[in-house]
Amino acid sequence: MTERQPKPIQRPDLGGPFPEHVAIIMDGNGRWAQRRALRRVLGHKEGIASVREITTSCAEMGVKSLTLYAFSVENWKRPRAEIRFLMGLLEEFMVAERPTLMDNDVRLACIGRLDDLPEASLRALRETEELTASNRGMTLRLALSYGSRSEIADGVRRIAEDARAGRLDPADVDEETLRGYLYDPDTPDPDLLIRTAGEMRISNFLLWQISYAEFYVADVCWPEFRRPQLMEALRAYASRQRKFGGLIQDAPDEAPASKKAERTA
């Protein structure tokens, strides 16, 4: 295994390996509300309860990193009223959840084009990051104004700038070089990617980082995704065998049919 493919943690209670880094595409807030004849924004508000429960559950179980796709660069195309509500909800979350983060030893970090956020939202975010900076438990990473293509483009632009300034030799650029220019290069890649609401799309999320992640799709919308649904996803992950493009370790090599015949002769 390479440095970025550590020996997996085993959890007998789940039936196998346990993911250190879980990433979630939180989908279906609007659909959850519409099915109940509610305004879409109320689905976003209900989704906060799922964020709280999944964050505390992951922290309690020993997940080291949890990355939530909270707001994409494409989401800026939504109606202005909905965006204002979402940014206000973000500010409320940043303040209201500080005791929960501190009680669970969770450090908050954010990735994306954060300067696109409204000033008040960004200020609340930075204050919460600073407050939780010394926590040593799980890292909760919110992807805000985030798009993976934007992340890669931003990284390539910085590489070009360093090369032009003579700080980087283009001949030395490899995969690890590019990784170093991503938003959060020190965080290990996700082991498990969860998407809710039954959708089978990646939606421009962590395209570089999920190269070997295991996918799990939950049929329920995000406001309905709570600890029982998380446990189902973790049990599904525990049943998988990750090969990273190679062969399963400790598995016997398949012998040719002629050799098998010789052994049984």
Full DSSP string of 21-69? EEEEE---HHHHHHTTT--HHHHHHHHHHHHHHHHHHHHHHT-SEEEEE
Residue 181 to residue 82: CA distance in whole angstroms: 32
Helix (H, G, I), strand (E, B) or coil at 15: coil
Told to judge if 27 belongs to the known catalytic residues of this protein, a careful annotator would answer yes
Residues whose CB falls within 8 Å of the CB of residue 193, separated by 6 or more in sequence, listed in order: 22, 23, 24, 25, 205, 206, 210, 213, 214, 215, 216
Q: 172 catalytic, yes or no?
A: no
d(Cα 227, Cα 24) in Å, to the nearest integer? Answer: 14
Beta-ladder partners of 217: 195
Radius of gyration of the chain (CA): 21
Taking alpha carbons only, the member of 104, 107, 178, 117 closest to residue 148 is 178
Please give the backbone phi and psi of residue 12, each rounded to the nearest 5 degrees, phi first.
-55, -30
Q: How far apart are CA 199 and CA 202, in angstroms?
A: 9
Q: Which two tokens stand for residue 28?
A: 């279906």
For 13, other C-beta atoms within 10 Å of its C-beta total 11
Q: Are residues 17 and 237 in contact, defined by beta-carbon separation less than 8 angstroms?
A: yes
253: number of Cβ within 10 Å? 5
Active-site residue, from 75, 135, 154, 184: 75
From the list 13, 27, 135, 184, the catalytic residue is 27
Among all residues, which ones are annotated catalytic? Answer: 27, 75
